């Protein structure tokens, strides 16, 4: 009997211990699983963009960048301080160059200034775990934030200045959009990581003192520190040193309304699906100085030269963001792409108005975004022909779901537009505009 009881309870004991072990393993596995869920790309992305849209993050990031660069590198306009730095440009008009029979901004964008033998950023920068994480986030899912990671773009080498320190031209080199993402866009993601680590501890300006910033926060900003290593701030802002910094073009259109005779500007609200500043307002058109060809080391120089044209880039963005056309993203032949853009009826109308003197397209200068350290070549198109305002405009996927293009009276822009939600590059663009005669003539009336 004793043996029988021992066998029964012994087996039960073993079984009980085995069952307890299985439950413990399952519980541990589930805890690990739930912990891993916190690191899923979808969750990380949602948290990043949700935080990015909050006033608290933007105020803290501006405070962080002000500590890094100093108040003098911010742009003051609309009674606000924006994290962009501006360089005024020389007076350059979009006119027909009779020698080449092409419309140009003079020597602003000259193929002689295109460097083809410079190494890509991925070859000159150590790729860290953070770079790989960011790349995975931006290319995750069926509808990734970066749709064309291998698309070619023109990276700033340096801005060229005249004797009055105004931008007269620039030099550039070629790399892919992803090169820019993991060396420039990632800098804002690093600011977000700093916010997560230090934002609660040092919320207010008086808490994030110079000593705290210098001893605790700045040493953690390793990617930004690597860009600035051995360089003065203004050199970093006026060149593409230690990174692949894709140039962008941005245009502010001022048109005379056929109904109330006021001059108005065109504005969209950025889509929630774009990789930078989702939900912000911006002047249109604006976009990367890029070409719809896939990057390779043996990319044909004819293709590169064909896309190296700021006028072409401006009008392509115009057709995409105001006429709802996306056909130029299909990787069509560069010759065909140029013909479609330049021969488009909407573009031809603008050229005709320029020739007739009822429209004026001019270079304003360049502004650089302090968060991602990218330069935006800035332009103004003023249209005095009232018939132009009868056009119906429709944005592409970069605008919000309504695809509405809104019109704001330029004299009342500060009162009618939510300037606190204005994309900083647009703020820099408007600041440069205030220095231009095409704006001053309107305001003085």
CATH number at residue 197: 3.90.79.10
Instruction: Quote the mean pLDDT of the chain.
Output: 86
Cis peptide upstream of residue 404 (ω within 30 degrees of 0): no
Where in the sequence is the domain holding 370, given as residue range(s)?
Answer: 56-111+121-444
Q: Give residue 437's pLDDT.
A: 97
pLDDT at 74: 98
> Is 217 inside a domain boundary?
yes
User: Could you tell me if residue 18 is inside a domain?
Assistant: no
- Dihedral of the CA atoms 20, 23, 29, 35 (nearest 10)? -100
* Backbone phi and psi for residue 286, each to the nearest 5 degrees, phi listed first: -160, 145
pLDDT band of 122, cuts 50, 70, 90 = very low
At residue 271 the predicted structure's pLDDT band, cuts being 50, 70 and 90, is confident
Task: Give the 3-state secondary structure of residue 75.
Answer: strand
Residues 6+ apart with CB under 8 A from 125: 183, 226, 242, 243
Average pLDDT over residues 248-262: 97
User: In 157-202, where does DSSP find H-type helix?
Assistant: 177-180, 186-198
Q: Which has more confidence, 2 or 222?
A: 222
**How far is 287 from 274, CA to CA, in rounded Å?**
12
Of 130-134, 212-216, 270-274, 384-388, give the lowest mean pLDDT range. 270-274
- Residue 3 in domain: no
Count of the separate structural domains present in the chain: 1
Rounded average pLDDT over 256-268: 96
Q: Specify the pLDDT at position 100.
A: 76
* pLDDT tops 90 at residue 75: yes
93 lies in some domain: yes
Q: Does residue 26 sit within a domain?
A: no
pLDDT score for 45: 86
- Closest listed residue to residue 185, CA positions, set 141, 216, 227: 227
Is 261 a member of any domain? yes
pTM for the model: 0.87
Backbone φ and ψ for 96, nearest 5 degrees, come out as -75, 125
Residue 96 has pLDDT above 90, yes or no: no
Q: DSSP per residue over 359-383, as a string?
A: EEEEEEEEEEETTTTEEEEEEEEEE
For residues 72, 78, 83, 87, the Cα torsion angle rounded to the nearest 10 degrees is -60
Residue 259 has pLDDT above 60, yes or no: yes
Question: What per-residue confidence (pLDDT) applies to 146?
Answer: 85
Quick: pLDDT tens for 285-305: 999 999 877 777 777 777 788
Could you tell me if 393 and 323 are in contact, meaning their C-beta atoms sit under 8 angstroms apart? yes
Quote the pLDDT of residue 399: 60
Task: Name the percent of the chain lying above pLDDT 90.
Answer: 59
Q: Between 334 and 258, name the one with better pLDDT.
A: 258
């Amino acid at each position: 009997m004793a043996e029988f009881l021992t066998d029964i309870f012994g087996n039960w004991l073993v079984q009980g211990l085995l069952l307890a072990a299985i439950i413990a393993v399952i519980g541990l596995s589930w805890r690990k699983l739930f912990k891993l869920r916190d690191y899923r790309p979808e969750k990380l992305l949602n948290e990043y963009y949700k935080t990015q849209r909050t006033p608290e993050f933007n105020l803290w990031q501006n405070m962080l960048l002000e500590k890094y660069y100093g108040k003098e590198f911010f742009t003051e306009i609309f009674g606000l301080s924006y994290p962009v730095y501006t360089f005024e440009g020389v007076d350059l008009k979009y006119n027909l160059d009779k020698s080449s029979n092409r419309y140009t901004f003079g020597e602003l964008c000259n193929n002689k200034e295109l460097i083809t033998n410079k190494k890509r950023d991925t070859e000159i920068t150590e790729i860290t775990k953070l770079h790989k994480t960011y790349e995975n986030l931006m290319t995750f899912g069926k509808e990734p934030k970066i749709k064309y990671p291998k698309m070619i773009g023109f990276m700033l080498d340096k801005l060229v200045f005249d004797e009055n320190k105004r931008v007269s031209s620039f030099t550039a080199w070629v790399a892919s959009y992803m090169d820019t993402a993991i060396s420039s866009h990632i800098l804002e993601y690093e600011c977000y990581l700093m916010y997560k680590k230090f934002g609660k501890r040092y919320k207010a300006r008086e808490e994030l003192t110079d000593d705290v910033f210098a001893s605790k926060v700045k040493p953690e900003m390793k990617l930004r520190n690597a860009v600035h290593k051995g360089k003065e701030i203004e050199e970093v802002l006026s060149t593409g040193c230690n990174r692949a910094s894709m140039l962008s073009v941005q245009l502010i259109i001022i048109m005379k309304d056929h109904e109330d005779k006021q001059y108005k500007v065109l504005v969209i609200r950025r889509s929630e699906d774009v990789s930078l500043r989702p939900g912000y307002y911006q002047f249109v058109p604006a976009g990367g100085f890029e070409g719809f060809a896939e990057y390779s080391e043996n990319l044909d120089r004819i293709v590169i030269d064909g896309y190296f044209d700021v006028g072409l880039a401006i009008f392509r963005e115009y057709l995409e963001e105001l006429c709802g056309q996306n056909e130029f993203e299909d990787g069509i032949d560069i010759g065909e792409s140029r013909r479609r853009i330049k021969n488009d009826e909407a573009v031809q109308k603008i050229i005709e108005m320029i020739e007739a003197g009822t429209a004026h397209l001019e270079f304003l200068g360049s502004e650089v975004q302090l968060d991602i350290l990218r330069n935006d070549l800035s332009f103004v198109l003023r249209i005095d022909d009232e018939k132009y305002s009868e056009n119906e405009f429709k944005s592409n996927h970069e605008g919000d779901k309504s695809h509405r293009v809104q019109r704001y009276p330029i004299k009342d822009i500060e009162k009618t537009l939510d300037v606190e939600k204005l994309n900083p590059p647009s703020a820099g663009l408007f600041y440069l505009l205030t220095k231009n005669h095409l704006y001053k003539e309107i305001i003085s009336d």
